[in-house]
Structures are given as C-alpha cells and as structure tokens.
Amino acid sequence: MVMNTAGQPVSSPPAHMGNLLVAAVCGLAAAVMLSQSLRAAENMWWIVLAYLAPVPIFAAGFSQGKIPALVAGTVGCALLLLMVGTQNMITFSAVFIIPAALLGALAVRHRRGDDGQIFWYPTGYLLTAAMVYAGVCFILINSAFMGQEGGLQGQLTQMGQQFLESRQSDTTSAMTNFEGQPISPEQQTEIWRTAAEFMAQYLPTIVMSSWLFFMVITGVATLRALGPHGWSLRPDLSMADLELPAWFLAATVVLGLVAYAAPAAYAFVALNLFILAGAGYMFVGLGLAHRWAKGRKWGWLFLVPMYVLTIFGWPTIFIALAGFLVSVWRVRHFLPLQNRRAS
C-alpha cells in the first residue's frame, strides 16, 4: 500500500459486539440471497439476488470496519455450507462473498499524516487487488484441468463444440456456403470446432472482465448509498485519482510477451491475464475522462459518451490504450501518486 511515508498508521476502532452482530446479519443476508438464487431454474428473476449478494458484505466493511467485513464473509460462507452444500458453497463464496469481504476490508484501511490528513487505501490498488484475485482464481482453475486432455482450453473447446452442434441439430435448416450449396457434415464439424476454439481462447477473460465490472459497480454503488446517511467510514471512491501501481505495468508487459512467445499452454493463461489487465487500464482511461470533467459545469456531457463507448466493445480498446500510455508516462517521469484524503 502506498501512503504518506511520513504518516503513522491509524488504529482501527475495536470491533464491538454491535459491529460484529451487524456483520453477522450481513453475512446471513448474503447467504440467503445466494441460496435463493438457485431458484433461477424456475424463474430467471431469482438470479438478480446473486448479483445483489455482495452488497451486504460490502456494507459490513464500508460501515463497520475491516474485522466486521471478514466476519460477514466468514458467516456467509459457513451458512452457505449448510444451505446449499459444499460444491455450491465453494462457487458462491469464491465469486461473490470472499472478494467482497477482502475488498471491503481493504477499502477502510488508512493512515494519518503528520499534518492530520487521512490517506485512504488508493482506489487503483483496490482495483488491482480485484484483478489479482480474479487472476489467481483463473490460474488455480487452469491448474486443476492440467491432467485432462487439452487442459482447460481443450475442455472449453469440447463443451463449446458440443453446444454449437446441439444448437444446429435443433434447427431444420442445413448450413450452406456463400454460393448457397449445402455443407458436408465433416465441414460443419470443422466449422464448429474452429468457432469453439476461438470462443474457448477468450472465454476466461470475458468471464473475469465481466466479474470485475460487476464487482466495481456493486462496490461503488454500495459506498455511495451509505455515504449520504453518514454510514460509510471512508469517502467516495474517486475515479479521477485512479492510478495502478508501477509493478502492475511491468507485469502487464511481461504477460504480453509471454502470450506472444510462450508455448500454447502458457500463452493461453498469459493472454487471458493480459486482456484482464487491459480491463484495468480501461478504468484508468475512464479516470482520465473523470479528471477532465471534474469541476466543469457540463462535464457529465463528456462522460456519458465515454461510458456509452465502453458498451459497444471495440472502442474500449482505445480507452484502455489511453490508460496504458498515461501509466507509462507517469512511470517514465516518476510522478508521485495523488494524495488520497478524506474530505
């Protein structure tokens, strides 16, 4: 954590029984929401509960402190084990509860400088922690499939091919080429396999990036909902001051080189992690837009099209590239990180 080197750590307030009770209730709420989301097979609207499940865990950390955040996560995991069984508990905990508890605990860490200013855990470092968590989970999952044919990528390709072939078998129209002539079954199989290989190559990073956006939106929304009522321990997360650590820039370059030059098995992992890092620099690019719009009367008119561009996919590449180049420029000129101070 980069803070004021002259500052002294601020001791977190002791976790009283009331704080721990609130944390336990938050963990219970998250567990109930996730267990009920399994009813999505009956009605897809139940899946909304899964997306809202991190909210009470975040709320425990933002409003009660780092110890209550971890308590809420522990209670949530324990109750899930009783409610949905081991397999579902592991999945729900890894995707929703554990990262929310860790990020909630990190978000309220701070130090006080000699002049009394409070320096909060940087927003960019919270984003980095989320990306590292997603990357570690991906590496563990990939390692678990190393003993199977083709590894994780091979298994995803096989499942994707089976899915595409089943969708084709459900339709009555046969596949044709550009001249309108029917395609042979062998050619169809090759087409499905090529499509499945392409999907499998990028599916992990699609999942990780989607999860990252979801956690960022959920965390920021929770903090902003608590702030107006005075229930949040830290001020709002500032996009305008978002900067990633210098080591992350070096790691991104290394991942790009490995993805380009390493054998296929290692390149698959490196490529997906490289694209995930690109998602982080996309947030840095959006932070530039926030910094420019900050203090301007009609600044939001500039922010709206920037966020609209991220929805369409490919313009995101240019936003991420801008964030990456700015990060390189900051490191090149040894610019210090912006001070993060509570208002």
Q: Are strands 118-120 and 110-112 parallel, antiparallel or unpaired?
A: antiparallel
CA atoms within 13 A on the CB side of 316: 17
Q: What whole-number distance in Å separates Cα of residue 341 and Cα of residue 343?
A: 6
Q: What whole-number distance in Å separates Cα of residue 241 and Cα of residue 218?
A: 19
pLDDT tens-digit series, residues 124-175: 999 999 999 999 999 999 999 988 888 899 899 988 888 877 776 655 455 6
pLDDT tens-digit series, residues 92-113: 999 999 999 999 999 999 888 8
Q: Using an 8 Å Cβ cutoff, are 168 and 188 in contact?
A: yes
Q: Give the per-residue pLDDT at 299.
A: 75
pLDDT tens-digit series, residues 258-269: 999 999 889 999
Main-chain phi, psi angles of 182, to 5 degrees:
-60, 145
Q: What whole-number distance in Å separates Cα of residue 87 and Cα of residue 84?
A: 8
- DSSP for 119-145? EEPPHHHHHHHHHHHHHHHHHHHHHHT
| pLDDT band (50, 70, 90) for residue 68 | very high
Residue 292, Cβ neighbours under 10 Å: how many? 14
Q: What whole-number distance in Å separates Cα of residue 200 and Cα of residue 158?
A: 9
Q: Which of 1, 61, 51 is nearest to 26 (CA)?
A: 61
Q: Which of 105, 98, 86, 116 is nearest to 30 (CA)?
A: 98
Q: Give the per-residue pLDDT at 332.
A: 59
The per-residue pLDDT of the chain, averaged, comes to 85
pLDDT of 342 over the 50 cut: no
pLDDT tens-digit series, residues 201-231: 999 999 999 999 999 999 999 999 998 888 9
